[in-house]
């Protein structure tokens, strides 16, 4: 009988523990500033073995090859030259 009472009390306490209020603290954040994870710039990646080539971490060389690739969309220049 005593064991049963102890068990009921334990279960009751465990159930009540679920109602406890979680600690809430305001995260200091600067309004209007990005709050998420940082993202790496595309030119910091290693070029793929079979893909376009640029020098890793060199923004200028990445932009250069992107612009060159972009001219593939300019069929006027391809046709009339």
The residues binding other proteins (CB under 8 A) are 29, 31-42, 44-45, 47-48, 51-54, 59, 62-63, 65-67, 69-77, 80
Contact present, 43 and 62 (Cβ < 8 Å): yes
CB of 2 to other proteins, least distance (A): 47
Closer to other proteins by Cβ: residue 21 or 41: 41
Q: Which is nearer to other proteins, 23 or 75 (CB)?
A: 75
CA atoms within 13 A on the CB side of 68: 9
Task: Spell out the residues 6+ positions from residue 42 whose beta carbon is closer than 8 angstroms to its own.
Answer: 62
């Amino acid at each position: 009988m005593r064991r049963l009472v102890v068990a009921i009390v334990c279960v009751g306490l465990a159930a009540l523990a679920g109602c406890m209020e979680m600690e809430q603290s305001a995260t200091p954040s600067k309004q209007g500033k990005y709050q998420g994870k940082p993202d790496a710039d595309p030119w910091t990646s290693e070029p793929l073995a079979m893909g376009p080539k640029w020098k890793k971490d060199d923004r200028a060389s990445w932009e250069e090859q992107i612009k060159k690739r972009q001219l593939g969309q300019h069929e006027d220049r391809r046709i009339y030259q």
